Amino acid sequence: MITRLLLFLGTNLAVVVVLGIVSRLFGIEQYIGGNTTQLLVFAFIFGMMGSFISLAMSKTMAKRSTGARVIENASTPTEAWLIDTVRRQAEAAGIGMPEVAIFDSPQVNAFATGMKRNDALVAVSTGLLKSMTREEAEAVMAHEITHVANGDMVTLSLIQGIVNTFVIFLSRIVGGFIDRAVFRNERGYGIGYFISVMIAEVVFGILASMIVMYFSRQREFRADEGGARLAGKQKMIGALRRLQAQHEPEQLPDQLAAFGISGSRAGGLQRLFRSHPDLADRIEALQKLDSTIAR
């Protein structure tokens, strides 16, 4: 579940950095000068390019990084059940049949990604298939199918593109100011500019990730609700409780806790960098849903 967003954010960051380096090597930035309108256009183009290039690469990157094997022809009853379940849910959600894949991991995990609603990828870990009942796994699949149906990857790409724009724009404003005020450079761009821009991009990028993570958490609530409508409210709650029982007793290291799939409760700034809400909050939100969707 968390794999999808981490892959997207990591690829986006790499693409933006590469685009920034290329623009400096080829002297593109020298034509911007003090023109803030041109700078904003430059930032918008490069920011959106970084976001949507990473989105276009998301399926390929996901397969390679997880070693996911797309099921072409089901060779086991579990694979046949998985394909039938995804097909049924995709039809109910009004989207094209996604590619279905399994990746080898002891962790309970699943993700959906892809640039188009009708050309997506849904993958589950071997750990999930072993640890969850079919009812619980069905709910997880419904959650991922809802991500696809809601266009969450495209939505997050647009949000990421917008925050990229401001990261690129503001970092160059800061870099230009420091280059002139601190390094006293009045002609062109000096080394102080490029160093300041790189540092500012990191700082603003961290702040921007908080915005993306906030919207990600909101989309998770919607995906839970959609999963409840496709698979059943009690199945969705059961799947989340299974995750809660398996993961919350284990205390992850501080540097990893913010990215744990468990959604265990975290406080302070740590909460701002989490892509998923607390499992307890997600279960509570589902319990408050209209009882007519319970099955």
Residues taking part in catalysis: 144
Quote the CA–CA distance of 39 and 33 in Å, as a whole number.
8
Burial of 31 (0-12, 13-18, 19+ CB in 10 A): exposed
Written as six digits, the tokens of 115 are 């640039």
Three-state SS annotation for the chain: CCHHHHHHHHHHHHHHHHHHHHHHHCCHHHHCCCCHHHHHHHHHHHHHHHHHHHHHCHHHHHHHHHCCEECCCCCCHHHHHHHHHHHHHHHHHCCCCCEEEEECCCCCCEEEEEEECCEEEEEEEHHHHHHCCHHHHHHHHHHHHHHHHCCHHHHHHHHHHHHHHHHHHHHHHHHHHHHHHCCCCCCCCCHHHHHHHHHHHHHHHHHHHHHHHHHHHHHHHHHHHHHHHHHCHHHHHHHHHHHHHHHCCCCCCHHHHCCCCCCCCCCCHHHHCCCCCCHHHHHHHHHCCCHHHCC
Adjacency order of strands within the sheet including 69-70: 69-70, 99-103, 119-125, 110-116
